[in-house]
Structure 1
Amino acid sequence: MKPVINHSWDLTEGEALQLQKDLATRVIKENLLDKVKLVAGVDVAYSKESDKLISAVVIIDAETLEVIETVTAEEKEQFPYIPGLFSFRELPSLVKAFAQLKSRPDLIVCDGQGYAHPRRFGLACHLGVIFDVPTIGCGKSRLIGEYQELDIERGAIAPLIDNGEVIGNVLRTQTKINPIYVSVGHRIALTTATEWILKLSTDYRLPETTRKADQTVNLALKTKL
């Protein structure tokens, strides 16, 4: 699986900001996805001893949630940590991981933000646009936006709002457990994205895609670095 948009990762902060603004115009916030049979989760972990990082892509069956395929990739950090430009740090290694896949996911869930971003172009948007695949941003914490307190029951939703615009949904995936933050990545509507995250979060706060990718990348980090 290769990107349909290739751009340099060797960028200055200014160049990255401009590219982010340009690519943000390509984000599609409506459903342009076929029947979803395979869902991928992605995650990246950093070595504490070096400048290396490891990314993982885990594909699961959308109905059974069983793991179909797992790949990892190792890469050096190529971009400094700059708030709002997170994708430029993590995507080079994820692109390497996606190149190893034998299966093509119908939907990708990212452990991070999508449209709920200051420039409306978080990691999930960046990944979705360069691969032209439906993606969802699913963050454990809020980057921007305000919301009203939501009910304590599983499935409760409150819109996440920034400057009068709904940029995502705050979703409680398990009763009396802290909510997560769902936003569009690419080629999917917010309502559909929220439904998928709830469906994938069967027993835990986070969707199975994120949980399995996190487990995979942390195991790889211990054994490879």
Structure 2
Amino acid sequence: MYRPYHPPADPQLVRELTEQQQTLRARVRLEPLATEPAFIAGCDSSFPTPETILSVFVLLRYPTLEVVEKVWHAGPVEFPYVPGFLSFREAPNLLLAYEKLRQKPDVIMVDGHGIAHPRRMGIAAHLGVLLDRPTFGVAKQKLTGVYTEPEITKGSISPLTDKQGDLLGQVIRSKDKVNPLFVSPGHRCDQETATRLTMACLRGYKLPEPTRLADHWAEEFKEELKSK
């Protein structure tokens, strides 16, 4: 399998990004939603070319999950690949896509991690702080933490913790006998809410509808981008 080469990150840049993440982390608030959401959005980013990023927001009515709106924005990749700091690479373009939504969501489900991150600042937390909107992350792979594999049936849950035993997220079996999802709060959301909304948005697929549809439309918009 081809894997693109990424040169080692500059140590000074890593220090500066770490400081920025620590500043953002101080602004994170983990709390239940004030009211039940009327609208939930899913968002995702992809890279049609090494030099281009495409970000998508799909807005759904909750709890029916009827699609209300879908928007995208494509632009140049303006930040290098630095492991653990991908938010800085993706967030600026996600913000530009978000601005195109006519109806703003009450909560955003992000394809990625919330606080289940080595410095507790995954893309869901990062984006939530920048927008000051409730966010949580639903990721397909673990980034950090330890857990026991949940039971193979849909709805089974195991805690994802750090080495000290502090809760980072929950590992959720979203469909029988498929690999689990890693769900964690981002900002202005708590774990209970993140887990409950994830489960409420399942419609027979591994991924909950907001991020599943964001991923689907990212592929559709990628083709539209190519045609232009």
TM-score under structure 2 length normalisation: 0.90
Render the CA deviation track for 1:63-122: whole Å, top value 9, x for unaligned.
211110111001111111111101101111111111111001001000001100000010
- C-alpha distance in structure 2 between counterparts of 1:100 and 1:148, whole Å: 41
Deviation at 1:33, TM superposition (A): 3.4
Q: In the aligned structure 2, how far is the partner of 1:181 from the partner of 1:218? A: 23
Which residue number in structure 2 is paired with residue 47 of structure 1? Answer: 48
1:149: how far off? 2.1
Matched, 1:85 2:68: no
Q: Is the 1:30–1:187 contact (alpha carbons within 8 Å) kept by the matching residues of 2?
A: yes
2:182 is paired with a residue of what secondary structure? strand
- 2:30 maps to 1:29: yes
Q: Once the 2 structures are TM-superposed, how far is the Cα of residue 158 of structure 1 from its aligned partner?
A: 0.3
Match of 1:58 in 2: 58
Structure of greater relative contact order (alpha carbons < 8 Å, 6+ residues apart): 1
C-alpha separation in 1, matches of 2:172 and 2:199: 8
Q: CA deviation at 1:12?
A: 3.7
> In structure 2, do the counterparts of structure 1 residues 113 and 135 end up closer, same or farther at CA, with 3 Å as the change threshold?
same
Unpaired runs of 5+ residues, structure 2, are 1-11
SS in 1 for 2:45: strand
Q: CA deviation at 1:206?
A: 0.4
Contact 2:124 2:135 in 1 (8 A): yes
Residue type at the aligned position of 1:195:
R
Write the deviation string for residues 7-44 of structure 1: whole angstroms up to 9, x where unpaired. xxxx9433222111111011111114322010000011
User: Over aligned residue pairs, what C-alpha RMSD do you find?
Assistant: 1.3
What's the % identity of the aligned pairs?
40
Q: TM-score, normalised by structure 1?
A: 0.91
Secondary structure at the counterpart of residue 96 of structure 2? helix
- Supply the AA of the counterpart residue of 1:120: R
**1: distance between equivalents of 2:106 and 2:166?**
28
Kept in 2, the 8 Å contact 1:33–1:188? The answer is no
Return the offset for 1:131: 0.8
Give the secondary-structure state (helix, strand or coil) at the position aligned to 2:222. helix
Counterpart residue type for residue 64 of structure 1:
T
The amino acid that maps onto 2:137 is G
CA gap of 1:75–1:33, structure 2 versus 1, over 3 A, is farther
The one-letter amino acid paired with 2:42 is: G
Q: Moved runs in structure 1, 4+ residues, more than 4 A?
A: none
Structure 2 letter corresponding to 1:196: L
Pairing 1:153–2:153 present? yes
CA contact (8 A) 2:33 2:193 kept: no
User: Which residue is equivalent to 1:174?
Assistant: 175
The separation in 2 between residues aligned to 1:21 and 1:35, in whole angstroms, is 30
Contact 1:75 1:92 in 2 (8 A): no
SS of residue paired to 1:96: helix
- Letter of the 1:123 counterpart: I
Partner of 2:198: 197
Runs of 5+ in structure 1 lacking a partner?
A: 1-10
